[in-house]
Structure 1
Amino acid sequence: MKKLVLVAVISVMLVGCNNSHTSSTQPSAKIVTTNAVQSIASVEKQLPDWIKDDMVTSPLEAIVMGGDTYDAVSFCKPHDCASDFMITLTADNNKKYSMIVHVKDVPDALNTPSIYATYQYIGQPDQQVKSVFTQALSQNPNWQ
């Protein structure tokens, strides 16, 4: 249950990150609430089941890039951390971004997992943040 609450909180924060435009008129609270619920449902549909159900967490080293510092945390699927994991970055301004990585289950992926990996980004990271994700992946000595 705690994990589900964590995912919901991350989802709500990521919805806030997706608000990239400003408006001179304020929408009604009902519209804002409806949009937030729809966005959370959309993000949760994109998340693999292991993120919603159970995961293992471990902090990574803080990453400094372009004058910004990002706190990084790695989440992974229990008993399958090499194939299914997520890295979440928190920027100085408290914006959160996540990258979900799935490595195809083939023998060659043991030696070069990056070739067999697919990536899913949450929070609309720009190119600099994607570079930070690459740097976070390099903290894993098995990632090639």
Structure 2
Amino acid sequence: MNGDGRGTVIDRETLMTWARSQGVRVRVACEDWESITYETLARQPDGTSLIQRHRWVLPEPITRRRLLMTYVVGLSHEVDGAECNHVRRIVPPVLSSADEAARHDVALVAAAMVEVERRAVCGATVDNLRVYTVERAVHWRPF
């Protein structure tokens, strides 16, 4: 751990053991097709927060499958007469979903993520975001 209350844990089992000893839960902080980052937040006796993280790099066969299942979702909304665009890479919550259901699910997840991350900055909400593309990451081309 460094001086800012953040630390990186060497392995997942150590993180789980530490979380149990602190009485805190482990959550997924970040996820993409290559890795999953787990995080815990514990309040220390002096009132400060201690964040511990572990990034688990997935085995290659799983990485390949997740890349094939990942979608790129493009969303936009209007801000003061201009168009504000947001793009997110999303792995469907249910990997076995049919393509149409997966596209719907990833659009919802992407809109929720944009609202949480950007609402205070640009006013993005699930209600004002418009989905303009949902493509598999392996097929997506930015231009």
TM-score, normalised via structure 1 length: 0.28
Of structures 1 and 2, the larger Rg is shown by 2
- Of Structure 1 and Structure 2, the greater strand share is in 2
TM-score, normalised via structure 2 length: 0.28
